[in-house]
Structure 1
Amino acid sequence: MKKRILSIFLSLMIFICCFSVGGVLTPAYGLEKSSENFISCGLGMTTVLKSDGTVWIWGINDFSDFGLKPNGKPTQIQGLTDVTAVSVGWYHAIALKRDGTVWMWGRDIDDARGSVNPVKVEGLSDIISISTNLAGSLAIKKDGTVWSWDTWISGDGTKEEHVTPMKIPNLIDAVSISMGALNAFVVKKDGTVWGWGENYFGKLGDGTTMNQYMPVQVKGLSDIQCISAGDTHTLALKKDGTVWGWGYNTMGELAIDTFEYRNKPAQINGLKDIIAVSAGDSYSMALCKDGTIWSWGDNLYGKLGRGSSDEELQDSPRPACIDSLHDVIAISAGSDHAIALKKDGSLWNWGNLDGSEEGVATPTAVSISLGLQEVNTSFDTNSSFQAVPIKSKVLVNGKEVGFEAYNIGGYNYFKLRDIAMSINGTASQFDVAWDKEKNAISLLNRKVYTPVGSELSKSRGTTAKNAILSSSKLYVDSKEINLVAYNIAGNNYFKLREIGEKLGFSVNWDSTQNVIKIESESN
């Protein structure tokens, strides 16, 4: 109890609001509906994204303006469709649509504007990842640049608030972002971490406690794949499955017995094979590749989810498993509550769910399901994205064709030239051109395909390969199209269904026979 009183006192003294939009960080998977983008917890509010692209929200709503009554029942946000990622903050929430635009609703931080209905954030395009919190909002563009808005920690070296989106200077190659309560972090392609904002308790991890208003590198971290900023502490996940933390530690959120803060990252002992992390208000969660959740830190309102109240468990500086949950594929830690998504599409939450002082210490089912999650939860310690050779038979107009194709995150990706060769001579035929100087791919609809000699080589073996987000631009008949693509061994792979939608052929899936069917009308 003394530790909790001390924590509250210190927080008030530095005028810091200890509320987090934790949420699983949204790694730059592109405009892809990854399960990690499906759920987000904020200050008493939760947003989820269903597989049909609609967004649902529920919560206490005491400090927010989302147009909801505090009934705890999920309500669909009207006017939002084709969404690929969500993130909820204290006063507002944001959503990323498949076309790369960002939409915002609720109250703005400075109450300058607000809307119960989602409004488009002007000045943003080609966005692939989002994060929001009390301090403002962040987004990654397809070109790896980072943009901030509605924040006074805009990363430009000043404390001047920027309402409209601005590009953070000298910050490129971003693959993961997290907006904390009063600071922000970016993971770059090279595995380094950069942060800026307020630095009380060393929560920027740069070895000091000095505030920084331009990105500075976090000390001693490498091979990081994603990051999660909580209220006053931060978690980073390395590619080897280990977890590292820094910042405030009065509640044991860094898993250190001394309860002292750390201004440099230190490994959190007792954790391995971790695939996701989420930092909340003085507590932490990690998701293991076996589908179990591990939690530690502050247990106010039972937010550690271990079935014990705050008085029984108190602060727990040692990670322990939430025994009642299995087959989990995504987690999100909010201010005083948390949520988990299971592979069967069911949602489970715990903590302060209704604004009462009691809290719910055991995960309980939410009255909404996201549907069966066809995601790849295997963990590859050597790459950011795992591409597994597909085992499905592929039929093109009823004839079996061999492709070198891969499954990434539950979706099938094919080489453009393989597709072009397989449907050449049909009504949906197209040619492929590559401009190396402009790093651009051009598809010419209805044109005869010109082979280059490497098309339609079958996948060999079952070994997974490293896949990275492609930086190439894509044009269809001279019009730029925003589609997610991955580069595997020097070749760009696109989602089969999306290419079919753009070029006029259909893709169907026969689950009983494990067959992918491509249909294109004859000329």
Structure 2
Amino acid sequence: MKKWSVFLSFIVVLTLISSLPVSAAAVDKTSNIQSFDPTSLVKNDGTYWVWGGNQSVPTQFQGMTDVMITFGNDYVMKKDGSIWYMGRNQSLSSTQINEVKSLNHISTFYYSYGDELFALGADGKIYTAVHTDGKLDPTQFVQIKGIDKVTNISSYYDFSKREGELRSIFLKDDGTVWHDQNALQSFVRIASLNDITSIATNIALKKDGTVWRLPWTRQFNEDTQVDTIPTVISGLRNIKIIKSNGNSHMAIDDQARLWFWGVTITGYSDGTTYHDGKAPVLLSNIKDVKDTFVVERSLIVQTQSGDVYETSIEGTSLPVNAKFTLLTSNVNLIKQGNRSIIMQKNDGTLWGWGVNKNGQLGYGDYEFMHSNAVPMQKPISVQLNGESVALNTGVIIRNSQAFIPLRSVFEKLGATITFEEMSKVVTIKRSDVGTPPLTISINIKSGVVTVNNKAVNLQNAPFGVNGTSYLPLRFISETLGAKVDWVQQTDKISITMK
């Protein structure tokens, strides 16, 4: 097998699927989460929350209200159908909020590695982001003329020319498939692809349950001769769902069985080799399949009962009897990120699995990888005297106790805060007229806490995450004279200070 210098970027298209609210019948009615994607969510109150990067847990994006759906990549739709974009900075407080005035009532966004960003309207019209000075402008879109009634968008490499050309493909509501020409200026129907119900990069699913490879696409081995017409993939019948990352392909048939073909992997770094299994393999050790994903070097499978399993795609091929390991149960919905997945359970809670080096699992740490499913921290808001408090990183719960970033609330309670970087000692002072002086000292490294030089034992020690010190909210707030209440119905901490 040949070694390729490019794997995922060879043909993969990242699809941002709209996060439509999950039905109440599927998720516990007490859940406060209305919509979610791999790095953001919307609560039932219309607030918008993000994680990943500088935010290791869900953190409220202040100033964004009445949100109905989050699409990912910083796009949301409000209840009035308006579309908004937030190009996140390291500090949420400095991030600009932009209304995308050329878009309204969008159902889905699609991004291709060919540097095209599409928005699909609820009416089947397509819009593309404008390029200004050769750079994509995520806040400016124009309608694409010449094609409409589109239900799905994808991309694939057309090898009718030796070097290959990335094309956008469009599935229309009449079951026909079209590809673009001349930089989206014209569109050509792909002949003999009729009654298509789904497209996924270089494969298409027909109404009769057969799966077809698009013309001018080659299998992973670059020496493979390409076909000039669509070709049926032998061995697949009665297929209901197809999935693909462009290199590895999956299909679920009418008996809820899982088929796999395409790329598996051996080696690492410069020694990585990609092996192309051309014939679909029916995996015998997994049943009642509902959904499936390729994430990093793993095949993730969700069953109809809500169990989620993982098996490795490392090896020269994926064996028929591949061993699956249970990751978690009671999962209602899965959203795939770039290198991880976020799962919503029937009780409404979110769980993550996979690469986490940028905090993309919302778990409250930056461990590179979590090979077991971990619970995402709840999206917890903080109010002071009825006013929402803006946090640059969110609330972390440890052992049922809430911790908040060092400078998020306590200065608003009238305290003066100093932090000694070398010793990692936080000093919180209050010296209001008419009240006794108060000094709280917290050693982040040792966990030693004193109040007016008297030692205090805390249930849970303060800690640091990615350079941010987290302190116990209730202990410090109440020591400073505030009243703290937990509002369970809305996941809100209410602080009252006279």
TM-score, normalization: structure 2?
A: 0.49
Q: Identify, as 1 or 2, the structure richer in strand.
A: 2
> Which of these two proteins has the greater Rg computed from alpha carbons?
2
Name the TM-score, length of structure 1 as normaliser.
Answer: 0.47
